Amino acid sequence: MQKHEMKNLPTSVPTEIRCNCCGKVIPLQNGIAMQDFFHAEKTWGYFSQKDGITHSFDLCETCYDRIVSAFAIAPSENE
Ligand SMILES: [Zn+2]
């Protein structure tokens, strides 16, 4: 979950980023996250029950690791 403030159009600077799962605040410095986090955004399409609705959320690394550890197939990795 991100709160943004419009500083100089057309860009915005995040003023708060919180993990949607545990509520932890991701520390920011001048709008830049000082801890990495996972961001997801999905606009659901016609063949769903949420046609045209966009969902977005953020996860801290701890919650991301816990959630993906329950996957039947682990996320692919590339370096
Ligand atoms: Zn979390």
Q: Measure 47 CA to ligand 1 centroid, in angstroms.
A: 31
Q: Measure 38 CA to ligand 1 centroid, in angstroms.
A: 10
What are the CA-CA distances from residue 44 to residues 17, 21, 58 (Å)?
23, 21, 17
Q: Measure 43 CA to ligand 1 centroid, in angstroms.
A: 23
Domain ranges of the chain: 2-68
Sign of CA dihedral 41, 63, 22, 72: positive
Residue 73 has pLDDT above 90, yes or no: yes
For residue range 25-39, list pLDDT tens digits in order: 999 998 899 999 999
pTM over 0.85: no
